[in-house]
Structure 1
């Protein structure tokens, strides 16, 4: 098996794992009342952009081979790095869902009985789910042997993250005030001790 084919298989298996991890939390979240949501239209657009970069573009390439002019050969070292990043991404993705519990939401919402979560991965970073998406996009860049499919995730996550993060933190400051400001001083956004 070539490294390029192996990388594609690893990416596809990770994608399936992502859906398996998210499904039960999405079901539970539907049963928890939303007290406040921010920018519903903007949220849908940003989530659509992320979906295009992480799912749609790679799937189009996988199914059709388009754009073949941007294909290249991977080496096994890239696949190993990509697989390791993907495993870390999926672990962090699962932990962030588990630590949030019923407070998790795909869009910017304050849930019923919402609290600041400071346990688990939230002890050192405020936004581990974004960190997991950045890791996923990096893994995709190492695993897919097509420049558009490989880099689409990074572009999409950059748009989602840098457009959304300030809104999200303002919403949390409005909801929790000085308690959230103190949490912001104690933690970094997505990289422990750095950013």
Structure 2
């Protein structure tokens, strides 16, 4: 079963948070605030934060920009993962991914089912890796962001988490690029 190995030292991760919305501004970005607060409370660094409109090319461009930034290790987006015509975050993420982390959507659905029942079926949360950077597309509600962080990401981004975690494989994510 999963556990925290207290004999290991915590390693902070540098996160970027991107809110995807046609209507939110920094003052009303509750989901971005939820993620930023949890990232910092866990001992990680908020390296960048932004808001972009629900435009596939704009979302993908910001993801690529942050993936190329050596000061960003992981990107969390919030918003645009639903089923409406303006929900294009998942497509933008997949335009950028080198590899998809298929199990993230499944695990997120399991967590969501415990909170909102069958309404969890309406989320297309997804994750992947590009240029040695982790990317996660989360729904736009503060509750969904809280659930994703508290139940999944908080543990996977803790180097002390056993049996395994995302942090311990950072050095190998882009071994094909020979990143230093």
Name the one with the larger strand percent.
2
* TM above 0.5: no
Greater relative contact order structure (CA < 8 Å, 6+ sep)? 1
Alignment TM-score, normalising by the size of structure 2? 0.28
**Greater CA radius of gyration, 1 or 2?**
1
